[in-house]
Amino acid sequence: MRVLPPSGPPSTERRPRERTFHGDTFVDDYEWLREKENPEVVAHLEAQNAWTLARQEHLAPLRQTLFDEIKGRTLETDLSVPARDGDWWYYARTVEGQQYPIHARYPAAGPDDWTPRVLEPGQPVPGEQIMLDQNAAAEGHDFFALGSLDVSDDGTRLLYATDTAGDERYTLRVRDLATGEDLPDEVRDTAPGAMFTPDGEHIFYLTVDEAWRPWRVWRHQLGATGSQDTLVFEEPDERFWVGVGLSRSKRYLQIELGSKVTSESWLLESDDPTGEFRVVWPRREGVEYSVEHAVLPGSPARDVLLILHNQDALNFELVTSPVPAPGETVAPRDADVVVPHDPEVRLEGVSASERYLVLYYRREAISRSAVLSLDEPVETGGGPVTWDFQEISFGQPLESVGAGVGVWEQPNLKVGYTSFVTPSSLYMYDVASGERTLLKQQPVLGGYDAGDYDQRREWAVAEDGTRVPISLVWRKDKVRFGGSTGSTSGTGETTGTADAPAEPAPLLLYGYGAYEYSIDPYFSVARLSLLDRGVVFAVAHVRGGGEMGRAWYDDGKLGAKRNTFTDFVACGRHLVATGWTASDRMVADGGSAGGLLVGAATNLAPELFAGVQAGVPFVDALTSMLDPTLPLTVTEWDEWGDPLHDPEVYAYMRSYTPYENVADDASRYPKVLATTSFNDTRVLYVEPAKWVARLQAAGAPAMLKIEMSAGHGGVSGRYSAWEQIAFEHAWTLDVLGLADR
C-alpha cells in the first residue's frame, strides 16, 4: 500500500533574534538556520528535502520521461569544433554514459593548416592526445568543476584547477603532456583563471580573501614549492575584484581590476614576467574601461591600445592610444576616438588579431558583432575619425551573433549564431566576401524542425510608461491564434506581427534583471519538452539588465531597483491582458538575482502567477548586505546600495526584499519551489531556507529542494544537471496542469 506523504511541511522552529539598524527593529525568527555546522540545521534541511521529494513522488514517471527526452535529443558522444593554437588543434569531446568532457588535441599539419578537420563523433581521431579526462579526475567525488585550463605555448604542459566541493576554491596542478603525469607543482585554494606565461616557466594565479573576493595575484615558478610563490599584486579595496590574463598578441600580461562602477588595467611585457606591472589609466570613480592590444598596419606598423571606456560616454566609446612606456600612463586627452558614443548603441567589447578587429555591441535589445579588416591602413588622429566596422547578421529579428578572432595569427573568423529556435551554429566567415561556411550545428536528435516553432518580440508598458521588451517562443501547432500568424521565415522566426493566441496558453515567464546582464536569444534542448507540451516560453527583459543599454541598467539598480520588479509584474500583466496566458496558467522563473526578482514580484502581485520557481534565490538580500563579512557583500554595495551605513538605502531595501515582506497571510500565494545548494558561496543556502520557512509559516504552499554537495551552479555533470532540469520542468508542468501530457 502506498504511504501518502505528510500534508504539511516540517515545522521550522521559531528562534526570534532582533536585528536593529537605523532605528528599525526586525524580528528574524529563522536566522538560526545560518549555523551551517549545527546538526539541527542540517537535519532541518534534510527534512525539508525529504518532504519536497515525497510531495513530488507522483511526478517521478514524468521526471523520468523528461530526462529521457533530453537525453534522447542529445548526441551524447560528440565533439566540439577544433580550435588551433600553436602546433595543435584543441577540442573537447563527450562519451555516452560519461558525465564530463574529455579535453584532447591533434597535431596541425603545418603552418598553413587553418581549416579544422571534420571529426566524426565516436570515430578515432588520428594523432589524438588526451590531455585531461574530467571523468577520471572526478572519480570518487560527488561534485566536480574545472576552474582553469591552459596549455603552455610550447605545448608540453597542461595547467588545470579543480573544485570537488562546490565552494569555488580550486587546487591547481600541472601535467607533463608527454608522460601524462602530474608534476609536483600543486597550489591549493586558488580562484579560477590561472595561466602560463608565454615562456612556459611561470604561472600567474589568483587567491581570494575571506569574503571569496579574488584580490591577490601570485607568480609561481615551475618546480618551486607553493611557499616560494611571489605576491605580484594585491587590491585592498573590498569593492574591487582582480583578474589576470594575457593579451591575444601574447605581448602583454594584464591585471584587471573592477568594482561595479570603476575599473583599472595594468600591463607588463610578457617576456619579462618577473618585472613590474604599470597602470594604463589610473582609476577614477565611476569610470570603467577595458584594454586590448592591437597592431595597426602602416609603415611602420603601430602598437596601440584599444580602450573601451565610459568617461563622458554613457554607452561607451572606443579610443586608441600608444602603449605607455615603463613609468608612464595613458593620457586620456591624447587618445583618438575611433568609434564615438551613440545613445542608441551600447559598446560592450573589442577583440584584436593580426588581421582583424571585432567590435561587440548591443542595439535594440539584440547583441551584435562587426568586423574591421586590417589588410589596409586605418586612420587615427588628425581630427574626427570613425572606423567602418561591418556588421555580421543572419537577418533574423531575434538572433545572437558572436564573432571570434581565435588566436592572434589566425587568418579567418569564426562566427557563432543561435536564436530561440535555431540550434547553436558555428560558421567560418570570409571577411572579404561575406561567405559563411557551416562548421557545426548543435545536433538535435529525433527529427527537430525549426519550422515547427515561432519566436517574436512583444512590448509591455511599465508603471512609469517605459516600454519593456518581452521575447517569446512557442510551438506553432500547440498555440492557436485568432488571426494571421504573421510573416514567418523558413527557420520559424517571425517579424512579431502575429495576433494574440485565440485562448490563453500555459506560459513560463523568465527574468533576471541585474548586473547589466542581458538574456539574449538562445536555443535549449531541454526547453523543447515544455514547448512540445504547449508551454510558451517568455523572457521579460526588465530594467537592471543590459538589453537596452547602460541607462537600462542604471534604471534598475540602487535607488531605482524597484523598477526591476514592477517591470516584471508589468510584463506578466501584459501577457495576460493580450491573451497570451492567464494568471492560473503562468509560472514565474528566476535564479540568483532573478530569484530576488521573482520573490519580490510574488509579494507585489501574488495573484498574478500560479507558481514561482526560484533557483539559488537572493531573497534575503538586506540581511546579506548588512554583513560586510559575508562573501560578496562589500563588492555588491555599488549594485544594491549600502544599507549598513545609509539609512535611506536601508529603508528602500527593507521595502522590497522578499524575505522581510512576505505577507502575514500568504495562503493565497502561488506555489513556490526554491532550489539551492549547501556549499553555495555566492547566495548562501540560508537565504532560500529562511524564505521558505517564512512562507510556510504564513500559509504559502512553498517547498525547498537543496543539493547537499553542490555550489552556486547546482549539481555537476551533465546527467545530474538533466535530472535537476527534469525535476524543475515536472514541477512546472504540474503547476500548469500539464503533468499528464
Active site residues: 592, 680, 712
H or E stretch at 250: none
Which of 136, 133, 82 is closest to 103 using CA atoms?
A: 133
CA angle 330, 334, 337 (to 5 degrees): 105
Cα–Cα distance measured from residue 127 to residue 288, given in angstroms and rounded to the nearest whole number: 45
Cα–Cα distance measured from residue 170 to residue 189, given in angstroms and rounded to the nearest whole number: 5
Name, in order, each residue with C-beta under 8 angstroms of 552's C-beta and a sequence gap of 6 or more.
543, 544, 545, 546
Cα–Cα distance measured from residue 726 to residue 64, given in angstroms and rounded to the nearest whole number: 7
Secondary structure of 39-59 in HEC code, one letter for each residue: HHHHHHHHHHHHHHHHHCHHH
End-to-end Cα distance, the chain: 26
Residue 228 has what DSSP assignment? G
Which of 350, 349, 344 is closest to 365 using CA atoms?
A: 344
Task: Return the number of other C-beta atoms located less than 10 Å from residue 70's C-beta.
Answer: 23
Cα–Cα distance measured from residue 387 to residue 385, given in angstroms and rounded to the nearest whole number: 7
DSSP string, 157-181: EEEEEEESSSSS-EEEEEEETTTTE
Residue 422 has what DSSP assignment? S
Q: Hey, which residues does 677 pair with through a beta bridge?
A: 707
CA distances for 89 relative to 100, 254, 671, angstroms: 20, 25, 50
Strand pairing of 78-79 and 317-322?
Answer: unpaired
Cα–Cα distance measured from residue 321 to residue 324, given in angstroms and rounded to the nearest whole number: 8
Task: Provide the grid cell at 490.
Answer: 523558413
Name, in order, each residue with C-beta under 8 angstroms of 192's C-beta and a sequence gap of 6 or more.
147, 148, 161, 168, 170, 206
Look up residue 100 and give its amino acid. Y
H helical segments located in 626-717 = 633-640, 647-654, 686-697
Which of 353, 382, 282 is closest to 324 using CA atoms?
A: 282
The beta strand positions in 289-334, using DSSP E, are 289-296, 302-309, 317-322
